[in-house]
Copies of this chain bind each other. A is one copy, B any other.
């Protein structure tokens, strides 16, 4: 199973690709950050994020995309940008019929460290160990994207298969709609 994890953000959107199955050693296929300038207009920033995500999808052909679920109890301004960046990532995946899964930050932390309240350093350390890397990926957004992908591989494989079937059906109907 190849999963693209996306830690959404307008200024830094973390992306990481992990391959493997639950119960076996995992392999990192790529990690990076899609950046957009904070002083640019919102529209062109969303276009730049779309282009970045499309490149990652083209290059790595993931079977699943795992995106961090956005909550609005945090900083209002940041949360809006995060929701908008996550919408672009979900749109890019869904257009290709790739199933999108959302995982909360605490689900991701619990999956890779055993605690839903682990800090960034702990998540970075476990990602480094689980993927047998030489050092924690920087910035933290990149490490978080890998943690999301690992979380997705480890959580409910049966649920993934069901969701994949449902979304492929939806994509099929969408493409029928387009050609009609």
Chain A interface residues (CB < 8 Å from chain B): 40-44, 46-48, 50-51, 70-73, 76, 79-80, 83-88, 90-91, 93-95, 99-100, 102, 163, 166-167, 170-171, 174, 177-178
Contacts and interface: CB of A to CB of B under 8 A. Distances in A.
Q: How many copies does the complex hold?
A: 2
A64 to B, nearest CB: 11
24 contacts: A41-B163, A41-B167, A42-B100, A43-B90, A43-B91, A43-B93, A43-B99, A46-B90, A47-B94, A47-B174, A48-B174, A50-B91, A50-B95, A51-B178, A71-B76, A72-B72, A72-B80, A73-B76, A84-B84, A84-B87, A84-B90, A85-B87, A87-B87, A91-B91
